[in-house]
Amino acid sequence: MTSVISNQSSSKNKFEKFKAEKDGLMVKNELDRFAQVGWEAMDETDRDHRLKWVGVFFRPVTPGKFMLRMRMPSGVLNSHQMRVLAEIVQRYGEDGNADITTRQNLQLRGIRIEDIPDIFDRLKAADMTSVQSGMDNVRNITASPIAGLDADELIDARELVQQVQDMITNSGEGNPEFTNLPRKFNIAIEGGRDNSVHAEINDIAFVPAFKDEVLGFNVLVGGFFSAKRCAAAIPLNAWVSPEEVVALCRAILEVYRDHGLRANRQKARLMWLIDEWGMDKFRAAVVEQMGCTLQPAAPEDEIDWDKRDHIGVYPQKQAGLNYVGLHVPIGRLYAPDMFEIARLAEVYGNGEIRLTVEQNLIIPNIPDSRLDAFLQEPILEKFSIAPTPLVRSLVSCTGSQFCNFALIETKNRALSLIKELEAELELSRPIRVHWTGCPNSCGQPQVADIGLMGTKVRKDGKAAEGVDIYMGGKVGKDAVLGSCVQKGIACDDLKPVLRELMIAHFDAKPKEETMV
Ligand code: SRM
Ligand code: SF4
């Protein structure tokens, strides 16, 4: 493996160079020393880059206050784990919070390097890990947030997701086999009918499909967003049984690791290799790596529903039990919220909590008899089960508050602007508005009804924050990526533009009209 990588990288970019000098995972054994010397005295490459291999992100916007990106396979955690995370951010007072991410995950903020060894001990004791969650590693693996609860689901993917994560991370201990990929890598395993994971934007996506009356998965590969290019995943022309999922993920990762393009980081995601080789050669390499044959894809998959957002009260497949989806505005949680969610999950459910790619959360397993009492809980005023239609579908990436790539502020602006629009418009249905602070597209504007991508504009002769507008994103069955329809609108001028788009394309009516 090493020889293939080093042969290829004769013209190494700076990332390939520092990875070759020292694998990112090595910092796992140096955390005590980092804690002693402090962030200012640390080697800069360790601090700014290698720490991301254990999920610890230096934030140049808030130096000394790190972000910790967890792994939450299928977006599932329990009340004890939520409490452990709440205790971690609580100690940082105003600096501490946690964001639910667009990959069904949690990112904690305000973290001090001196606390990392203790935090990692607590995570391990609570059976959680943040390993390999950043840089050239496989990100949090997503699945339906109602896996195992949904009467209509085909495959409960939770165990498979866990097995794939365990393979990639050596059960959370860190796995040097997969810590030097050419670039980041996303995997999703959908077991439901509504493509809740956005299969189309993952490097590998498994979608349920029957073959000769046996239930398994069709496989899509190469989906990704980047500043340079966005591509929807394409069929590998393979159908696998659930038992083959781990082996196929391993084989694809090995092929990508050993042959993925490394010279230019802008052209290093899996799709660039598929382009270079062509699908037939790529598929053949994967088959060879697996050491067995791959069946051709089933002619049809079972994704035949519109995408659900899971907000509200829904009966589970288990008689007498319900799951309740709570809307978390722009995905942000503070320590008191997290303690309260943990308490509710224990008092009313079985302690379980689920996260969604829409940055919301679900409390499952609430008996019919406890539902009314649950719905009276005061925190539901903050985390509503019936939010207004625009607020309901709002998604936003981190933006300039914490992210140094950001060209604009996102989360707070997104929320206040959507509330203003909601005050002016009558809406008959939700409109999915996604904000992303720069072309990296973490907030997925291309999957939205209206996507807003941060950019810099000139307004009154001065540089100002602005957005490019995306439209046409379709999710669920037959998902389609949206594209840019308008460029360079100053954020200060955005409200009337959005208002008009909502009236023209989404049946919104001005409130003054509906009142006459
Ligand atoms: Fe992302 C880099 C945040 C989902 C594409 N992303 C970053 C960094 C790590 C940049 C940095 O170091 O500051 C951001 C951290 C900011 C911070 O402090 O929070 C960041 N990405 C996020 C999150 C938190 C957005 C959110 O608010 O939910 C999401 C975390 C997911 C997780 O739990 O792991 C997040 N990022 C995504 C997605 C959406 C998805 O996976 O469905 C994408 C597009 C899909 C994809 O990757 O193909 C995405 N992030 C990127 C890219 C562009 C990748 C590329 O190939 O060029 C970067 C930049 C990079 O990797 O060089 C990036
Ligand atoms: Fe940061 Fe840009 Fe990603 Fe938003 S889209 S989190 S601004 S890198």
Question: 122: CA distance to ligand 2 center in Å?
Answer: 29
Residue with tokens 């989360």: 411
Same domain, 369 and 302: no
Mean pLDDT value of segment 163-170: 98
pLDDT band at 6 (very low <50, low <70, confident <90, very high): very low
Output the domain CATH number for residue 256: 3.30.413.10
Same domain for 124 and 184, yes or no, is: no
Active site residue: 442, 451, 466, 482, which one?
Answer: 442
Residues 352 and 434 in one domain: no
pTM: 0.97
* DSSP H helices in 301-403: 335-348, 368-375, 379-382, 389-392
ipTM: 0.99
- Determine which one of 192, 443, 466, 473 is catalytic: 443
Going by alpha carbons, the residue nearest to atom 3 of ligand 2 is 442
Cα gap 160→450, rounded to integer Å: 33
Q: What distance in Å separates the CA atoms of residue 489 and residue 452, rounded to the nearest whole number?
A: 10
Q: What is the pLDDT of residue 432?
A: 98
Which of 217, 236, 186, 235 lies closest to 442 in space, CA to CA?
Answer: 186
For residue 95, which of 54, 118, 66 has the smallest C-alpha distance?
Answer: 66
Take residue 49 and report the two structure tokens written for it: 């880059």
Bridging pattern class, strands 433-436 and 395-396: parallel
**183 in active site:** yes
| C-alpha span between 511 and 496 (Å, rounded) | 14
437 is catalytic: yes
Radius of gyration of the chain (CA): 22
* Pocket of ligand 2 contains residue 455 by CB under 6 Å: no
- What pLDDT was estimated at residue 240? 98
Structural domain range at position 441? 391-514
pLDDT (mean) for 344-361: 98
- Percent of the chain past pLDDT 70, that is, above it, reads 97
Regarding whether 302 and 262 lie in a shared domain, the answer is yes
Query: Who contacts 215 (Cβ-Cβ below 8 Å, separation ≥6)?
Result: 154, 155, 208, 209, 242
pLDDT tens, 19-50? 999 999 999 999 999 999 999 999 999 999 99
Q: Treating both helix axes as pointing N-terminal to C-terminal, what angle do 158-169 and 245-259 enclose, rounded to 10 degrees?
A: 40
Which of 308, 341, 369 is the endpoint of a domain?
308
Q: Based on the number of CB atoms within 10 Å of its own CB, is 447 exposed (0-12), middle (13-18) or buried (19 or more)?
A: buried
The mean pLDDT value for 326-333 works out to 98
- At 103-113, the pLDDT tens digits run 999 999 999 99
Which CATH number characterizes residue 342's domain?
3.30.70.3340
Q: Which of 133, 128, 261 has its CA nearest to residue 187?
A: 133
User: Whose CA is closest to atom 43 on ligand 1?
Assistant: 442
pLDDT at 95 exceeding the cut of 70: yes
Q: Which residue has the tokens 């049984």?
A: 241
**Same structural domain, 156 and 84:** no
Same domain, 347 and 470: no
404 and 379 in a common domain: no
Residue 353 has pLDDT above 60, yes or no: yes
Given this model, what pLDDT does residue 2 score?
Answer: 40
Give me ligand 1 centre to Cα 139, in Å.
9
Alpha-carbon span 179 to 335, nearest angstrom: 32
Residue entry with tokens 């709570």: 326
- CATH number for the domain including 7? 3.90.480.20
Spatial separation of the C-alpha atoms in residues 137 and 79, rounded to whole Å: 28
Give dist(CA 263, CA 131) in Å, integer.
25
> Do 169 and 278 fall within a single domain?
yes
Give me the pLDDT at residue 514, please: 61
In tens, the pLDDT along 41-77 reads 999 999 999 999 999 999 999 999 999 999 999 999 9
443 as an active site residue: the answer is: yes
- Tell me if residue 467 falls in helix, strand or coil: strand
What angle, rounded to 10 degrees, do the helices at 270-277 and 279-290 form?
110
Res. 5: pLDDT tops 60: no
Last residue of a domain, one of 247, 276, 308: 308
Rounded Cα distance between 485 and 468, Å, is: 8
Helix (H, G, I), strand (E, B) or coil at 10: coil
2 with 141, same domain: the answer is: no
CA neighbor of 135 nearest in space, from 56, 67, 212, 213: 56
Output the CA torsion 466→447→282→168 (10° steps): 90
What's the CA-to-centroid distance between 441 and ligand 2, angstroms? 6
What's the distance, Cα to Cα, between the start and end of the chain in Å?
71
- Among 222, 201, 221, 219, CA closest to 272: 222
Nearest CA to ligand 1 atom 57: 226
- Cα–chain center distance at 392: 18
Mean pLDDT, residues 124-138 = 98
Does the Cβ of 436 fall within 6 Å of ligand 2? yes
Q: Which of 440, 470, 475 maximizes ligand 1 atoms within 8 Å of its Cβ, making it the mutation to test the pocket? A: 440
One domain for residues 375 and 443: no
Rounded mean pLDDT of the chain? 96
pLDDT over threshold 50, residue 228: yes
Q: How confident is the model at residue 12 (pLDDT cuts 50, 70, 90)?
A: confident
Which residue's CA lies nearest to atom 2 of ligand 2?
A: 438
CB 24 within 8 A of CB 135: yes
Residue 1 has pLDDT above 50, yes or no: no
Asked if residue 410 and residue 265 are part of one domain, the reply reads no
- 400 and 373 in one domain? no
Which of 364, 385, 406 terminates a domain? The answer is 385
Overall domain count for the chain: 4
Q: Is 343 a catalytic residue?
A: no
Asked if pLDDT for residue 395 goes beyond 50, the answer is: yes
Distances (CA, A) of 405 to 131, 230, 499: 23, 18, 28
- The string of pLDDT tens digits covering residues 432-451 is 999 999 999 999 999 999 99
Catalytic residue among 12, 91, 184, 370: 184
pLDDT, position 8: 52
- Cα(457) to ligand 2 centroid in Å equals 18
State yes or no: is 112 an active-site residue.
no
Residue nearest atom 49 in ligand 1 by C-alpha distance: 442
Write down the pLDDT at residue 11.
64
Q: Which of 222, 54, 211, 50 is nearest to 123 (CA)?
A: 54
Instruction: Name the band, by pLDDT with cuts 50, 70 and 90, for residue 512.
Output: confident
Largest CA distance in the chain: 74
